[in-house]
Amino acid sequence: MTITEEPLALGSGVTFAQRPLGVLTRPQAQGGWKDWVSTVDHKKIGIMYGVAAMFFFVVGGLEALLIRTQLAFPDQGFISADLYNQIFTMHGVTMVFLFIMPLAAAFANYLIPLQIGARDVAFPRLNALSFWVWLSGAIFLNTSWIVGGGGANCGWFCYSPNSGIVFSPTHGVDFYAVGLLITGIASLVSAVNLIVTCLNMRAPGMDLMRMPVLTWMLLVTQFLLAFALPVITVALLLLLFDRTFDSQFFDPDAGADPLLWQHLFWIFGHPEVYIIILPSFGIISEIIPTFSRKPIFGYTAMVFSGIAIGFMGWGVWAHHMFVSGIGPISVAAFSMATMFIAVPTGVKILNWLTTMWGGKLHFTTAMLFATGTVAMFTIGGLSGVTHSLAPADTQQTDTYYIVAHFHYVIFGGGVLGLFGGAYFWWPKVFGHFLNEKRGKINFWLMLIGFNLTFGPMHVLGLQGMSRRIDTYSAGYGFEFWNLMATIGSYLIAISVVVFFYNVWKSKKEAVDLPPPGPDPWDARSLEWSIPSPTPEHNFDELPQVESFDHWWFQKYDIDDEGKVVRIANTDDVAQDGSATDVHLPSPSYWPLVLAIGLPLIGYGIIFNLWLCVLGGLLTGGAIYAWVLEPVDDPDAGHGHDDHHDEAAELAAVASGAGSDNEGEG
Amino acid sequence: MRSRRNLSGLVVLLGLLLAGCASDAELDTLKPQSETARQIDDLLDPVLAIAGVVLVLVCGAVAWLGWKNRVASYEGDDDFPEQMAHNNTLEILMTGVPAIIMVVVAVMTLTTHLDINSYDDANAMPVVVEGESTNWEPKIVVVGNQWWWEFRYYFSEDVTAESLGSDMKNLPPADIVTSGQIIIPTGQEVELLVTSRDVIHSFWIPALNGKRDARPGFFAPWKIEADNPGVYFGQCTEFCGLSHARMRMQTIAMTSNDFQAWVDQQMQPAAEATGEAVLRGQEAFVTNCSGCHLVDGLNGSEDISAPVQSGAAPNLTHFASRTTFAGGILSTYNDDGTFNRDDVSRWLREPEVVKDNAANDLPDGTLPRGMPNLGLSERTISDLVAYLETLGPRPTDEIIADSEVE
Amino acid sequence: MSTATATADTHHDHDSHATNTGISNNKLAMWLFLSTECLLFGALISTYLLYKTRGNGDVLPTDIFDIPFTSVSSFVLLMSSLTMVLALSAVTRGEMDRGKAWLLVTAMLGGVFIGGQVYEFTSFYREGLGYTTNPAASAFYTLTGFHGVHVSLGILMLMSLWVAAQQGKLTQKNTETVEIVGLYWHFVDIVWIFIFTVIYLIPPA
């Protein structure tokens, strides 16, 4: 999986009309790396998100291995306390902000337009901007290892006043604050973009209640992002102002209240949990029906439970603060609210089970990951219920029981699902399968390793092992289970190596194998009605959607007796990607340039304000250039001078193409 | 095949989980030793049981369905199962049953929650302080510092958050100030007012109650009580910086007679120094340590404003009456009951090796956090150890044995 | 078998943005952006409300508010919303000269407000309320400063529209662009009305 491979190369001769009309010209599609850095294609951006996320998965994973190696035996000095604190902080930050969120963004970018029958997202250049800004923030965050005197050492939750300049004098926390601000901008822009896409860019007939569950869950996720990120933005700015400009937001000696940070952080932080988990819920809601040969059970319930989780996710943040002294009435209220979020979550689990009920289950690797997700997430959900008992949580919080819980949710519920998604959509994205045999080895190693790592942490937590301790003493009963967890973590590492090997080897083997065709899994949603890999223009013509699972109903019908009958061969109803001269948005370098300016401003705030000027000039210049850049449309050259206009253009593209649909034959 | 292995794996896991908790562990949360901790446990146990049942049902269903409904491939198979997309009864049931379970759990939780957050206001016990009998509403102020705990006893007045003020670095003078080990009378609900002088810490004695964060600028109410005399272990559980892992504490519960004896002893000023080495040690203490540490009767009787970030260092008046030091990570006495000269010396010689801190080589404008390395000579160290050994009576063998830390 | 009917887009109709919601992408994006801004200001306002009495023994913002002065600058900002409406309505009718004039007036009123804020900050500073004086001061300056930055960006946008109109690039066809900038401007005004009421007018407990 490298950036140079070109899974989207087209044989159909798509060309870009280039008629410079403004001050600046837009780059043309040239092939090679320039194509990637200037692309505004949602698919390429999705792939870049995926590649970068997997890179940071490796970084965060290595950090995890260091943590587990240190904790394998009691009283070890494998890494120092200071370094340990940096590593566990960066492990958390990396996995949450630089791995799972962008990997979910990869799926969102690639699949939302395909699933709703659109040619691209609403704002393609903003989409490129989101990726580059996120990447620049991610790299910025990690450069603190080199230039910041080490990583942030305050924990991913970075509670004040420990995060203040007095208690964390190195630049690690500054990098944390600025880095997350930058990645936050990226996610915010992306959220607005994808919400508009979902609401405005659907193919004719694609009502909201016909959208696939994945698209729905991603849409809910984007809403959560849109409303959660401003809050953490404020929190991070206040932290940065305290550390840089000496403001008094978190200094208890000046009368400030450390709880302010906790509230702001968790008002963001709890929806963040659902931001992480809902995409995976969506993914397995696509995989399970496909490999059960049944429609998803309770589509409406599935959608509304997702929305309910999204809403309720806003009312439970203080369950992270049961022992912080917020007062018994608040605790009671948040405890109750937390319990009832279990209801929509339970509905989801039961719906997946009912989908499998009476189905014909084909255990491909993707299906294994999906069912594994259901089981593992259930464990995480149940331990979550035990935390919602506020009195019990006073025993559990900040112990390894919590570490176990959220890894079952985030890894078991989130990461396993995302891996399932990778196996499922790999042929669609890259035009060849990932090897199933190696995939199954990947799955079983990961499942066993995962349970061996995090299962014992339940025991450790209940035995009273605190979180975030760099070592522990012998004699508390912690030795055996810690060793097991460490062994498990290495198993996970091996499973990830198997995955990468599979990616590499499967690509090599693909030349000798028949291509997967448009719909290798006999699946249900629109992305399977077009060739694999997806042509650059997505759809030859936009589909005229008539029902939920529209694509499946192109292939099958249900007769009067309720029996499924095939009405068409897949290849006959699938598009062949042969359309030419489909107008696509032109590439642009300015998103990248703009994104490079932001970390410079960040370094400037931390080290030298002159850098801020440089970064500001770069960013400001890029915005200026962006606005003046022609939209590359012969007819749209007049009168357009603001950066919003590309959307109007695309909408016109969509409607123009869509109106020409002939239906099926 | 996948399914069955999955199921058995989970059952094994569950079994191990329960087995693991039964092993000997000082911090075990499932072995309550007080009324409050029992209430918490009694709440958790049935929910764990319900969760266990749900777990087995769901994972069992995944496994069973996976096994029963599996097919090797769809190749050439155009026979589809029944396309059931919804079923109102089933869906109402699937929402209703979890909801009902949660209502039951919610009621149980609320009851326990309100119970453990109520405080007994009529539990005063007589304590003789300096010959005068007072009615003490058992209440102890718990103060977190990087990286040790201070415990303050006020017998003469009923302290409240208001009476203590908001300046954690200048708390009103207390009758007894100790650190590392909080001494409580058995069978008494002891109210705690938990706070911090620097960052957020969390006070937690699992056998006696859940935890409560120590937050600067705020006194969080909490309580502990112990059924029986004994030593109960704890560990700071809110990440508090560098030596978070090395910030421990113990609760020593005593009968009310023993508690009274302890109070009597702690109210005394430090023992008079006698003997050559001890006197030299006392002198070395005044030279090297008295800027931060108080020995009542030697360098004052009220808290010292120490030039460290938290503004405080442990009160050493009765150092040797405590069985742990250095933030609860080292034992003051050896197995055989003799004074642990080795570890005390080590702590004086190279504290930064014994326990990570930020007390030397500081960035500009910051104060030390933790015990600095003072570059003491071996001779000074030996004298200081001799002096420290005289500070306070040796606790009972039983307490020494029970409170031993690795 | 309706494949391979390549449909090139040949026509562009700027008046019909055929979106599912009927709201153009740009406008929808602006609405979404503004709704996220609510959370941003919500967090900042909450921070100030939590800290407004925490003076650490020093002067509090509430001690030195000059309500008559701020009322006048608030009124100026409120009036700028009116002129914004007039600008939009002029552009909608194609009266570009009038539209340009109202855009300029709107930007100038915004400028007056910013000037007032600069004056207010300066005089507060002279009265001993620095940014780092106490939590109340930090929260006050951060909140109102953020609002000021928003107003300034709004002025920048208005001026850009004015320049574009001056160059003939902004015409009646771009009514929606003006409308979207107007949305932003009204939002910033409404936020200020909220800040003025909650922060300035409601006396400390």
pLDDT, average across residues B372-391: 96
pLDDT, average across residues B30-54: 94
Q: What radius of gyration, in Å, describes the C-alpha atoms of chain A?
A: 25
Distance from CA of C165 to the nearest CA of A (A): 10
Distance from CA of B210 to the nearest CA of A (A): 4
Model confidence over B312-368: pLDDT tens digits? 999 999 999 999 999 999 999 999 999 999 999 999 999 999 999 999 988 888 899
pLDDT > 50? residue A288:
yes
Q: What chain A residue is nearest to B166 in terms of C-alpha separation?
A: A255
Q: Which chains touch A (3 or more CB pairs under 8 A)?
A: B, C
| Residue A504 CB neighbour total at 10 angstroms | 12
**CA-CA-CA-CA dihedral for A305, A310, A312, A316, to nearest 10:** 140
CA atoms within 13 A on the CB side of A116: 32
pLDDT > 60? residue B197:
yes
Contact A398 B40 (CB under 8 A): no
Q: In whole angstroms, what is the distance from residue A655 CA to residue A107 CA?
A: 25
Q: Which amino acid is at B27?
A: L
Contact A566 B239 (CB under 8 A): no
Q: How confident is the model at residue C7 (pLDDT cuts 50, 70, 90)?
A: very low
Q: What chain A residue is nearest to C132 in terms of C-alpha separation?
A: A247
Q: What is the ipTM for the molecules in this complex?
A: 0.93
Distance from CA of A167 to the nearest CA of B (A): 8
The predicted structure's pLDDT at residue B13: 57
**3-state secondary structure (DSSP) of residue A581:** coil
pLDDT > 50? residue A645:
no
Contact C134 A254 (CB under 8 A): yes
Q: How confident is the model at residue A654 (pLDDT cuts 50, 70, 90)?
A: very low
Of B131, B129, B188, the closest CA to residue B154 belongs to B129
The predicted structure's pLDDT at residue A30: 65
Cβ-based contacts of A461 with chain B (< 8 Å):
29
**3-state secondary structure (DSSP) of residue A121:** coil
Residue A156: asked if its preceding bond is cis (omega within 30°), the reply is no
pLDDT, average across residues C4-10: 35
The predicted structure's pLDDT at residue A157: 95
Q: How confident is the model at residue A631 (pLDDT cuts 50, 70, 90)?
A: low
Q: What chain A residue is nearest to B27 in terms of C-alpha separation?
A: A464
3 state SS for chain B: CHHHHHHHHHHHHHHHHHHHHHCCCCCCCCCCCCHHHHHHHHHHHHHHHHHHHHHHHHHHHHHHHHHHCEECCCCCCCCCCCCCCCCHHHHHHHHHHHHHHHHHHHHHHHHHHHHHCCCCCCCCEEEEECCEEEEECCEEEEEEECCEEEEEECCCCCCCHHHHCCCHHHCCCCCEEEECEEEEECCCCEEEEEEECCCCEEECCCCCCCCEEEEECCCEEEEECCCCCEEEEEECCCCCCCCHHHCEEEEEEECHHHHHHHHHHHHCCCCCCCCHHHHHHHHHHHHHCCCCCCCCCCCCCCCCCCCCCCCCCCCCCCHHHCCEECCCCEECECCCCCECHHHHHHHHHCHHHHCCCECCCCCCCCCCECCCCCCCCHHHHHHHHHHHHCCCCCCCHHHHHHCCCC
pLDDT, average across residues B9-24: 55
- Pick from B94, B215, B242: CB nearest A324: B215
pLDDT > 80? residue A526:
yes
Model confidence over B145-180: pLDDT tens digits? 999 999 999 998 889 999 999 889 999 999 999 999
Model confidence over A554-584: pLDDT tens digits? 999 999 888 999 999 999 999 998 888 788 8
The predicted structure's pLDDT at residue A581: 77
- Annotate C88-101 with DSSP letters as a single string: HHHHHTT-HHHHHH
Q: In whole angstroms, what is the distance from residue B171 CA to residue B152 CA?
A: 10
pLDDT > 90? residue A414:
yes
Which segment of A34-43, B1-10, B31-40 scores lowest on mean pLDDT? B1-10
Strand residue runs (E) in A530-612: 556-558, 564-566
Instruction: Answer yes or no: are the C-beta atoms of C170 and C28 closer than 8 Å.
Output: no
pLDDT > 80? residue C101:
yes
| Residue A245 CB neighbour total at 10 angstroms | 12
Instruction: Answer yes or no: are the C-beta atoms of C153 and C110 closer than 8 Å.
Output: no
CATH topology of domain C25-201: Four Helix Bundle (Hemerythrin (Met), subunit A) (1.20.120)
**CATH number given to B127-358+368-406:** 2.60.40.420
Q: In whole angstroms, what is the distance from residue A433 CA to residue A426 CA?
A: 6
Of B201, B202, B182, the closest CA to residue B324 belongs to B182
**What token pair was written down for A424?**
């499922």
pLDDT, average across residues B47-68: 95
Cβ-based contacts of B56 with chain A (< 8 Å):
none
Contact A301 B86 (CB under 8 A): yes
Which residue ranges make up each domain of chain C?
25-201
Cβ-based contacts of A247 with chain C (< 8 Å):
131-132, 138, 142
Over pLDDT 90: what percentage of chain A? Answer: 83
The predicted structure's pLDDT at residue B120: 85
pLDDT > 60? residue A147:
yes
Instruction: Answer yes or no: are the C-beta atoms of A358 and B81 closer than 8 Å.
Output: yes
pLDDT > 60? residue A365:
yes
pTM: 0.92
Q: How confident is the model at residue A28 (pLDDT cuts 50, 70, 90)?
A: low
Higher pLDDT, C167 or A131: A131
Contact C47 A245 (CB under 8 A): no
pLDDT > 80? residue A665:
no
pLDDT, average across residues A388-405: 96
The predicted structure's pLDDT at residue A625: 86
Q: In whole angstroms, what is the distance from residue B203 CA to residue A479 CA?
A: 24
The predicted structure's pLDDT at residue B25: 82
pLDDT > 80? residue B20:
no
pLDDT > 80? residue C15:
no
Q: In whole angstroms, what is the distance from residue C167 CA to residue A479 CA?
A: 75
Model confidence over B277-297: pLDDT tens digits? 999 999 999 999 999 999 999
CB-based contact (8 Å) between A127 and chain B? no
C-alpha distances (whole Å) from B304 to each of B146, B178, B297 are 16, 14, 13
pLDDT, average across residues A308-321: 93
**What token pair was written down for A472?**
């522990």
- Are chains C and A touching, using the cut-off of 8 Å on CB pairs and a minimum of 3 such pairs? yes
pLDDT, average across residues C69-94: 96
Q: How confident is the model at residue A383 (pLDDT cuts 50, 70, 90)?
A: very high
Instruction: Answer yes or no: are the C-beta atoms of A601 and C29 closer than 8 Å.
Output: no
pLDDT > 70? residue A647:
no
The predicted structure's pLDDT at residue C202: 87
Interface test with B, best of A263, A324, A463 (most B CBs within 10 A): A463
**Degrees (nearest 5) of the Cα angle B336, B147, B260?**
55
Q: What are phi and psi of B3, to 5 degrees?
A: -65, -50
Model confidence over B110-125: pLDDT tens digits? 999 999 999 888 889 9
- Burial annotation A155-189 (CB, 10 A radius, 16+ → b, else e): bbbbbbbbbbbbbbbbbbbbbbbbbbbbbbbbbbb
Interface test with C, best of A185, A192, A193, A200 (most C CBs within 10 A): A200
The predicted structure's pLDDT at residue A29: 60
Residues in Cβ contact with A347 at an 8 Å cutoff, skipping those fewer than 6 apart: A298, A301, A302, A305, B91, B94, B95, B98
Tell me the β-bridge partners of B221: B193
**What token pair was written down for A160?**
């004040």
Q: How confident is the model at residue A22 (pLDDT cuts 50, 70, 90)?
A: very low
Over pLDDT 70: what percentage of chain B? Answer: 94
Contact C13 A255 (CB under 8 A): no
pLDDT > 90? residue A662:
no
